[in-house]
Structure 1
Amino acid sequence: MAAVLPITRQIARSVPELRRASHDLCLSDINDCLIFDRHGVCKPFSSLFQRNKAIVIFVRNFLCYACKEYVEDLGKVPAQLLQDSNARLVVIGQSSWCHIEAFCSLTGYSHEIYVDPERRIYKKLGMRRGETYMETPSSSPHVKSGLLVGSLRSTWRAMTSPVFDFQGDPLQQGGALIVGPGPEVHFAHFDMNRLDHTPINRLLQSAGLQTLDFSDSPKIMDV
């Protein structure tokens, strides 16, 4: 098994006025918020972590190139790795549920995915709108495209989509939680910009799972 890093207690790194300890996060206000699957069937948010630990990633919007490439790597996490640890990997977007199928086909992501089309959970958790960059530019081990090429690809996908829309608020930022079993929050991070998402191996380590080598053919790393 991978060594488990100390649990991150801060949200919105390097921005003191936006920091909150993860143990101060109260999920009671969002437990009953409804999320929708790819068939438009709804379920309460709390159902994700009642009986098991859940790694929950909130993405910006399905047209965002950074989200696409991040979710592509999330899709490389082996299902057996999650099953062996009784953990769930969940992506939540903020578009209509009708865009889920195409997004999964595009990214190869086959784990759980839902949407919060009214952004109720995003808003109640206090996830930011707009992007903030620190003095040191944000970077991500999971995003390979540069801003110009990535933005052009996002625009092309929007233009060629059967339903032309942004598939979510383009200003909305995402984040990540590790929760459960039950309402305990083990890890929380709210993104400051499109490249500020938590590296996947950090999420896996914080959840007590083995890490992965994402280069070429992904494989489990014994550390």
Structure 2
Amino acid sequence: MAEVVSPITRQVTKGDQDTRSPPVVVRLQDVEESLIYDRHGVSFPFKRLCQDRKSIIIFVRSFLCYSCKEYVDDLGKIPIETLEDADIRLIVIGQCDYHHIEPFCALTGYPHEMYVDPQRCIYQKLGMKTEERFTDCAKRSPHVKSSVFVGQMRSIWRAMTSPIFDFQGDLHQQGGAIIAGPGSQVHFSHFDMNRLDHMPITWLLQLAGVQQTLDFSDKPKIIHV
């Protein structure tokens, strides 16, 4: 008799599925009514993001963070047609004010959905980490190209040249990635240990059921598998 698998999954980290980190249970029911905001400041419940179909939801720590910026750079290279063919939504959520969404999309070339949780209600209710931890389980993101020094200098320059100087989110807050839907079903979750611990995008696409992967090493190319 086949084993019945619960729709709520444990956290999986990159590099080793048999992680030493304690399992994380994600209950979307706890955040379904929490409000998120679009680029116009219009709010709606979080549950709408994955109500009708499967969604890849990326939580970033700060729009000013160089590693988040470079990660979203690569997320922006995913063709819209690839997601449409798989009937999957790709969503980035930040924790700053909504007026930062349009400039960040323009900066990164990100064409997909982006919202904000300015009070970090969803981050906190889901149990995403604060502060950074560097352990064997936390691997460096393959999407971050800059060194820490160069990346931080670029972040500082962007902050200084921004029309509204703020940190665009709590710098202690870490992000994560969830694959969920339809409804409150959670297929996969990963909570970042630090600013470099992003889930590789090709892994997320494959786990979500996308039958194509992207090569981010140079120019993105569609590889049929």
Fold conserved (TM > 0.5)? yes
How do 1:102-181 and structure 2 match up within 5 A? 102-135=103-136, 138-181=139-182
> Aligned pair count?
213
Secondary structure, aligned partner of 2:131: coil
Counterpart of 1:221 in structure 2 is 223
C-alpha root-mean-square deviation of aligned residues, in Å? Answer: 1.7
Letter in 1 for 2:147: G
Deviation by residue 1:115-146 (Cα, 9 ceiling, x = unmatched): 00000000000001110001477312100000
Give the aligned partner of residue 214 of structure 2: 212
* Residue 71 of structure 1: aligned partner: 72
- Give the TM-score, by structure 1 length: 0.91
Cα offsets for 1:24-63 (capped at 9, x unmatched): 4211110011110111111111001111100000001000
Query: Could you tell me which residue of structure 2 aligns to residue 52 of structure 1?
Result: 53
SS in 2 for 1:28: helix
Percent identity of equivalent pairs: 61
Q: Runs (4+) of structure 1 moved beyond 4 Å?
A: 11-15
Residues in 1 aligned to 2:180 and 2:41: alpha-carbon distance in whole angstroms: 24
Q: Distance in 2 between matches of 1:113 and 1:63?
A: 15
Once residues 141 and 9 of structure 2 are traced to their aligned partners in structure 1, the CA distance between those partners, rounded to angstroms, is 18
Provide the secondary structure at the position in 1 that maps to 2:103: helix
Contact 1:56 1:89 in 2 (8 A): yes
Secondary structure of 2:30's partner? coil
Q: CA deviation at 1:219?
A: 1.6
The CA distance in 2 between the partners of 1:11 and 1:222, in whole Å, is 25
Paired with 1:214 and 1:150, the residues of 2 have a C-alpha distance of: 19
Q: CA deviation at 1:211?
A: 1.1
- Does the C-alpha gap of structure 1 residues 57 and 105 become closer, same or farther in structure 2, counting only changes over 3 Å? same
- Whole-angstrom distance in 1 between the partners of 2:29 and 2:144: 34
Local SS of the residue matching 1:194: coil
Give the C-alpha shift of residue 12 in structure 1: 6.1
- Rate the CA distance shift 1:147–1:8 in 2: closer, same or farther, 3 A: farther
Q: Residue 11 of structure 1: CA displacement? A: 4.9
Tell me, yes or no, if the aligned pair for 1:12 and 1:19 is still in contact at 8 Å.
no
Q: Could you report, residue by residue, the CA deviation over 1:100-121 in whole angstroms, capped at 9, with x for unpaired residues? A: 1110111000100000000000
Does residue 19 of structure 1 match 2:23?
Answer: yes
